[in-house]
């Protein structure tokens, strides 16, 4: 097996345990935290929103550190810090302290998994880049398919504190694994990107042999494509995060029992995991730009299914279609950045894209406020669909030729 695939799978596990773990398990912890501490959903979601902003701001910091220090060291330390903070989530009695611990876990998730896993695998792949990004980011959705149900069982059996402690201990196990497995780039092991034999190296895309290079923030922001891509994916992530963060409570609100609602939430995340790889596979066969347009259209149409009269058929329709569409966002985003800027300039450009991903933080309070004001999430869903329609039009203003000019400049 080409060693790059092992690194992609390590990124998958890291995202499953930290990045996805802290987000998706809120479907199991939201209501128990309300009862345990008397916190409102608005206050909890605001804490999560602040954590999301901190996590997003940690992306460019983590990427900058990776250009000066070994990713292996950064990732190992991040797993240690994230695991300790995860344990702390169950031991604080203030929503402010909860938000601080949540923020630390989220920031750690960008260095152990998250942004650094995308930076790492793009050094190892060009031709199979979409699928590599898909595997790495599958972890976040697989987390939603696995950990919320496990968390619900742990909370019911042991309580909130013990559940968070066990999850945090599992995160700590990533420390030795990351230190042992991570290698910075294929050239360090006498390999070439995509596992191509040395004799075919000359036939690889030109960007496959470039390993250094940087652009300034001003240069990257001078391209209108940067703004369109950044805002479009930021709004899409806002929708994805807001909906999935309280999907289980939403299913409960329309009459499902706890375990039935959690089953459908986990099923949605499972389709999201399939979507991450599926949309990556599509990126490798058609351009990431065309894939992005299809992705945004699928997200908009499939979210509308949640507003249909509630029954088994409409629930399954929403779970399957929106889950698959939602899953592709974090796979197609780095593929789009790589298409526009190439392997050499990817870290510089991806750091700037993190500034737009901060829009994701708006999704959490949007759904929380919608529920507190109206007892329903539908108003938030309608606002999100309207925003998605606007960004779909914006993405049509980007051309393949324009992206090629950026990459070649």
Q: Is the pLDDT of residue 200 over 50?
A: no
Give the mean pLDDT of the chain. Answer: 86
Q: Is the pLDDT of residue 214 over 70?
A: no
DSSP-derived letter for residue 360 is: G
Asked, for residue 37, whether it belongs to a domain, the answer is yes
**Coil, strand, or helix at residue 137?**
helix
Concatenated DSSP letters of 166-232: HHHHHHHTHHHHHHHH--S-GGGGT--GGG--GGGGGGS-GGGG-------HHHHHTSHHHHHHHHH
Q: For residues 190 and 192, what is the distance between their CA atoms, to the nearest angstrom? A: 7
∠ CA 175-97-62, nearest 5°, is 40
Asked, for residue 197, whether it belongs to a domain, the answer is no
Q: Identify the sign of the CA torsion 76, 78, 81, 85.
A: negative
Q: Is the pLDDT of residue 98 over 70?
A: yes
Asked, for residue 311, whether it belongs to a domain, the answer is yes
Q: Is the pLDDT of residue 204 over 80?
A: no
Q: Is the pLDDT of residue 207 over 60?
A: no
Q: Which domain holds residue 398?
A: 3-185+211-408
Asked, for residue 44, whether it belongs to a domain, the answer is yes
Torsion angle of alpha carbons 265, 142, 109, 184, nearest 10°? -160
Q: What is the pLDDT of residues 236-267, one digit of tens each?
A: 998 888 888 778 888 888 888 878 888 888 88
Q: What is the pLDDT of residues 291-321, one digit of tens each?
A: 999 999 999 999 999 889 888 899 999 999 9
pLDDT for res 149: 82
How far is residue 147 from each of residues 220, 355, 405, measured CA to CA in Å?
38, 29, 43
Q: For residues 75 and 7, what is the distance between their CA atoms, to the nearest angstrom? A: 12
Which is more confidently placed, 116 or 368? 116
Q: What is the pLDDT of residues 60-79, one digit of tens each?
A: 899 889 888 899 999 999 99
Which whole number is the average pLDDT over 394-399? 86
Q: Give me the number of domains the chain comprises.
A: 1
Asked, for residue 200, whether it belongs to a domain, the answer is no
Asked, for residue 203, whether it belongs to a domain, the answer is no
∠ CA 182-183-189, nearest 5°, is 145
Are 307 and 254 within 8 A, CB to CB?
Answer: no
Concatenated DSSP letters of 261-319: HHHHHHHHHHHHHHHHHHHHHHHTTS-HHHHHHHHHHHHHHHHHGGGSPPSHHHHHHHH
Q: Is the pLDDT of residue 44 over 90?
A: no
Q: For residues 59 and 74, what is the distance between their CA atoms, to the nearest angstrom? A: 13
Max mean pLDDT range (191-195, 198-202, 212-216, 322-326): 322-326
CATH (domain of 381)? 1.20.1250.20
Please report which confidence band the pLDDT of residue 140 belongs to, taking 50, 70 and 90 as the band edges.
Answer: confident
Which whole number is the average pLDDT over 137-153? 85
State the distance between the two ends of the chain, measured CA to CA, in whole angstroms.
35
pLDDT for res 199: 46
Asked, for residue 192, whether it belongs to a domain, the answer is no
Asked, for residue 202, whether it belongs to a domain, the answer is no
């Amino acid at each position: 097996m080409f060693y790059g695939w092992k690194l992609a799978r390590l990124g998958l596990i890291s995202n499953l345990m930290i990045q996805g773990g802290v987000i998706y398990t809120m479907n199991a912890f939201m209501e128990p935290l309300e009862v345990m501490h008397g916190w409102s959903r608005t206050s909890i979601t605001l804490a999560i929103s602040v954590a999301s902003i901190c996590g997003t701001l940690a992306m460019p910091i983590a990427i900058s550190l990776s250009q000066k220090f070994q990713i292996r060291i950064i990732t190992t330390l991040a797993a240690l810090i994230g695991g300790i903070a995860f344990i702390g989530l169950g031991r604080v009695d203030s929503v402010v302290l909860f938000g601080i611990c949540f923020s630390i876990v989220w920031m750690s998730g960008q260095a152990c998994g998250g942004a650094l896993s995308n930076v790492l695998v793009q050094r190892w792949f060009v031709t199979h880049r979409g699928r590599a990004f898909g595997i790495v980011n599958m972890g976040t959705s697989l987390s939603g398919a696995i950990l919320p149900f496990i968390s619900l069982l742990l909370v019911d059996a042991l309580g909130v504190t013990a559940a968070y402690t066990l999850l945090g201990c599992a995160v700590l196990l990533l420390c030795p694994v990351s230190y042992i497995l991570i290698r910075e780039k294929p050239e360090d092991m006498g390999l070439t990107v995509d596992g191509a034999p040395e004799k075919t190296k000359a036939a690889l895309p030109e960007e496959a042999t470039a390993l250094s290079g940087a652009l300034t923030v001003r240069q990257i922001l001078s391209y209108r494509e940067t703004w369109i891509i950044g805002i479009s994916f930021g709004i899409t992530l806002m929708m994805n995060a807001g909906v999935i963060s309280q999907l289980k409570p939403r299913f409960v609100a329309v009459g499902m029992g706890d375990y039935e609602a959690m089953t459908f939430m986990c099923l949605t995340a499972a389709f999201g995991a399939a979507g991450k790889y599926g949309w990556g596979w599509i990126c490798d066969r058609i351009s990431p730009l065309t894939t992005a347009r299809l992705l945004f259209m699928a997200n908009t149409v499939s979210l509308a299914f949640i507003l249909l009269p509630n029954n088994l058929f409409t629930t399954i329709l929403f779970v399957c279609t929106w889950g698959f569409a939602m899953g592709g966002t974090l796979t197609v985003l780095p593929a789009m950045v790589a298409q526009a800027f190439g392997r050499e300039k990817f870290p510089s450009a991806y750091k700037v894209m993190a500034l737009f991903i901060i829009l994701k933080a708006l999704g959490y309070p949007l759904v929380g406020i919608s529920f507190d004001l109206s007892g329903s999430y539908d108003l938030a869903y309608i606002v999100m669909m309207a925003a998605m329609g606007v960004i779909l039009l914006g993405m049509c203003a980007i051309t393949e030729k324009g992206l090629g000019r950026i990459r070649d400049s």
